Amino acid sequence: MPAQYPLSPQFMLLSNITQFSPMLYLTGFPGLETIEHWIFIPFFLMYLVAISGNCFILIIIKTNHRLHTPMYYLLSFLAFTDLGLSVSTLPTTMGIFWFKSRDIYFSACQIQMFCIHSFSFMESSVLLIMSFDRCLAICHPLRYSVIITSQRVVRAGLAVIFRGPVALVPLVVLLKTFPYCGPRVLSHSFCLHQEVIHLACTDTSFNNLYGLAVVAFTMMLDLVLIALSYGVILHTVARLASQEEQLRAFQTCTSHLCAVLIFFVPMVGLSLVHRFGKHVPLAVHLLMANVYLFVPPMLNPIIYSIKTKEIRHVISKLLGLKKVSAESWG
């Protein structure tokens, strides 16, 4: 008989990963199951506005060579991340509210959470780059065109695209190494890492610490740097001679500031609720998660379509209207 060699821990870990495929169960709105087909209508409208609006902005920027500038490249990156965020949650959310399909394989859940968190990190980074862009445009207007070039914006965009997913790979892959017990029911209509990790029946300290470090050195750091950028902007604006100049300078930031608020306020609230709100009602968890994932992709294209001069001009031409003047980015 051949000698029996003990299996290495690496081989056992790989075997567990390849054989692991439990079923998880998603949740819509507990207690409202009988009217979920009506709940489908507002969600469908939000998806329709988010997907069509962001596709519209991407098409406008691509087909109008006048918009091939750093500012609009950044706006196209934002539209791309919003589009990806909407598409990531679409299958399971629509499956629950329309087809009553609540089960999801663990592998599919991993893919969805990877996409959701990756696009969230991307959007945070894009908003950071946009804040630097506005800071340079207001504080150093004469040097802006020299510092901010299309090539540098594209390189920064590529770095943004890869930063989040690379950091998330270990976090998502390690989930398959944990044993899971209990009902395996998630409280949302989509998969989030902070929820799935709570279903594990073992010590998850590494995942928790690593996840906290990733969030701290990406989204939290981005938020701090955005706040510092606006501190510099306010300091510069306050030194302008007339109130009219101050108002005109600050108006160039209103669209970006709205995008920052509608993204980071729900994100911070959701993080606090998941980590410290164990006794918070489930309705609060559902509200914060849905606002965080559905509202920014829906509102961003509307805000930039209304507040950006060139995009308004294109829309006016398409609708056969007269050109409506507005401050760019204001």
In a domain? residue 93 = yes
DSSP 3-state of 93: helix
Distance CA 87, CA 46 (A): 12
**Average pLDDT value for residue range 212-241:** 88
Which pair of structure tokens corresponds to residue 328? 């760019």
CB 297 within 8 A of CB 330: no
In a domain? residue 8 = no
pLDDT at 297: 93
Is 251 exposed, middle or buried, given 0-12, 13-18 or 19+ CB atoms closer than 10 A? middle
Per the model's pLDDT, the better-predicted residue between 151 and 39 turns out to be: 151
DSSP 3-state of 174: helix
Count CA atoms within 13 Å of residue 63 on its CB side.
Answer: 8
Judge whether residue 118 has pLDDT over 90.
yes
pLDDT at 14: 38
In a domain? residue 145 = yes
The whole domain housing 183 covers 23-312
Please state whether beta strands 103-105 and 23-25 pair in parallel, antiparallel, or not at all (unpaired).
antiparallel
In a domain? residue 142 = yes
pLDDT at 129: 92
pLDDT at 3: 41
In a domain? residue 327 = no
Q: Percentage of the chain with pLDDT > 70?
A: 87
**Average pLDDT value for residue range 21-26:** 79
- The pairs formed by 223-227 with CB atoms below 8 angstroms and a separation of 24 or more are 223/124, 223/264, 223/268, 225/128, 225/131, 226/127, 226/128, 226/131, 226/260, 226/264
- Please tell me what DSSP assigns to residue 141: T
- Please tell me what DSSP assigns to residue 221: H
Give the CATH number, domain containing residue 181. Answer: 1.20.1070.10
pLDDT digits (tens, 9 = 90+) for 29-86: 777 667 777 878 888 899 999 999 999 999 999 988 888 888 899 999 999 999 999 9
In a domain? residue 18 = no
- Please tell me what DSSP assigns to residue 105: E
In a domain? residue 150 = yes
* Burial track 283-305 (b if 16+ CB lie within 10 A, e otherwise): eebbebbbbbbbbbbbbbbebbb
Annotate 225-273 with DSSP letters as a single string: HHHHHHHHHHHHHHTSSSHHHHHHHHHTTHHHHHHHHHHHHHHHHHHHH
Which pair of structure tokens corresponds to residue 184? 């395996």
Distance CA 271, CA 275 (A): 6
**Average pLDDT value for residue range 195-205:** 85
- pLDDT tier at 328 (50, 70, 90 boundaries)? very low
In a domain? residue 234 = yes
pLDDT at 238: 82
Dump strand ranges (E) for the chain: 23-25, 103-105
pLDDT digits (tens, 9 = 90+) for 251-263: 788 888 999 999 9
Domain count, the chain: 1
- Mean of the per-residue pLDDT values for the chain? 81
**Average pLDDT value for residue range 259-282:** 79
